[in-house]
Amino acid sequence: MTQLPVVPNWFTVEQVSPTLTLIREPHTKPVLAANTWVIHGRDRDLFVDSGLGIASMRSCIPEFFDREPALVATHGHLDHLGGAHEFAEVWAHAAERIERPGRGSLVPGSLAHVLGAPDGIFGDGVLLDAVPEESYDWGAYELRPVVPTRELAEGDVIDLGDARWEVLHLPGHTPGSVAIFEPEQKLLFSGDVVYDDGTDMIDFLAESSPEDYQVTMRRLLELDVDTIMAGHGERFGRERLVELAERYLCRVGKPKTYAG
Ligand SMILES: [Zn+2]
Ligand SMILES: [Zn+2]
């Protein structure tokens, strides 16, 4: 097994605004380097995704758990759902079936297998460049299944007291992918539905549907949104959203350029 260096701080924490924090895992390969967003509401805090679960958020950043937060799982991939078992409240779309076991690995070949992706798509080696502690066994990584405490559906509202977030069901990447949208501030948390990290959208997994993805992208083109906080990469504005959605709609069905 490859011996990886140990890093003392597994997570980076960036205070984006008084009401928004971004948590990242910088020692993962880009394909698994997801964003965990924390919306600090008046009445409750809301996590949007929960990282890989390699290190415990509850132990490493306990201040975020002082007021028991709820977790919106945008979808069931390991880089978004891995820490979900640490939350008392886990909200997800029923079509995502996040309670299914055995859908994660940090070994590229095994990950491609469990996700139904083409062989070699995630490269080789291990999908980390460090570990949080000496004894961490990345070969034994598993995505822990979680039973949702609330099933999210299109049109549901998540009321944090000072903002009302609308749930959008946006299938394509996965069947139960959701985003949350706040129409007054025109903010969208998009998960892996759309992001801007230099790679193409992932629509080639066993559960993906390019047909659904096209409908989703057309829907995003109609959305009155100013800022997109995505599941990967940096946040971006509506102009960039239009470029990304149109690029997807142009290339769908053509050979993919995604290289992990
Ligand atoms: Zn994903
Ligand atoms: Zn992801």
- pLDDT (tens digit, 9 = 90+) per residue, 132-154? 999 999 999 999 999 999 999 99
Any idea what the CATH number is for the domain that residue 157 is in? 3.60.15.10
Instruction: Identify whether 164 is part of a domain.
Output: yes
Instruction: Identify whether 4 is part of a domain.
Output: no
| Strand ordering across the sheet containing 187-191 | 157-159, 164-169, 178-182, 187-191, 227-230, 236-237
Q: Which residue has the tokens 């099933």?
A: 151
Ligand whose nearest atom lies closest to the CA of 195: 2
Count of domains in the chain? 1
CA of 193 to the centre of ligand 1 (A): 8
CA distance 38 to 21: 5
Instruction: Give whole-number Cα distances, 131 to 53, 125, 233, in Å.
Output: 12, 14, 21
CA of 34 to the centre of ligand 1 (A): 9
Ligand whose nearest atom lies closest to the CA of 193: 1
Instruction: Identify whether 2 is part of a domain.
Output: no
CA of 192 to the centre of ligand 1 (A): 5
pLDDT at 256: 55
Instruction: Identify whether 166 is part of a domain.
Output: yes
Ligand whose nearest atom lies closest to the CA of 80: 2
175-203 average pLDDT score: 96
Q: Report whether pLDDT(255) > 60.
A: no
Instruction: Identify whether 260 is part of a domain.
Output: no
Ligand whose nearest atom lies closest to the CA of 117: 1
Q: Report whether pLDDT(194) > 80.
A: yes
CA of 173 to the centre of ligand 1 (A): 7
pLDDT at 258: 46
Ligand whose nearest atom lies closest to the CA of 76: 1
Instruction: Identify whether 3 is part of a domain.
Output: no
CA of 194 to the centre of ligand 1 (A): 10
Amino acid at residue number 112: A
Q: Report whether pLDDT(113) > 50.
A: yes
CA of 251 to the centre of ligand 1 (A): 19
CA of 11 to the centre of ligand 2 (A): 16
pLDDT at 109: 95
CA of 6 to the centre of ligand 1 (A): 26
Strands 227-230 and 236-237: antiparallel
> Residues 6 or more apart from 129 whose CB is under 8 A from it?
4, 5, 27, 28, 29
Domain extent, residue 142, equals 12-251
Q: Report whether pLDDT(48) > 60.
A: yes
CA of 43 to the centre of ligand 2 (A): 28
Instruction: Identify whether 149 is part of a domain.
Output: yes
48-64 average pLDDT score: 98
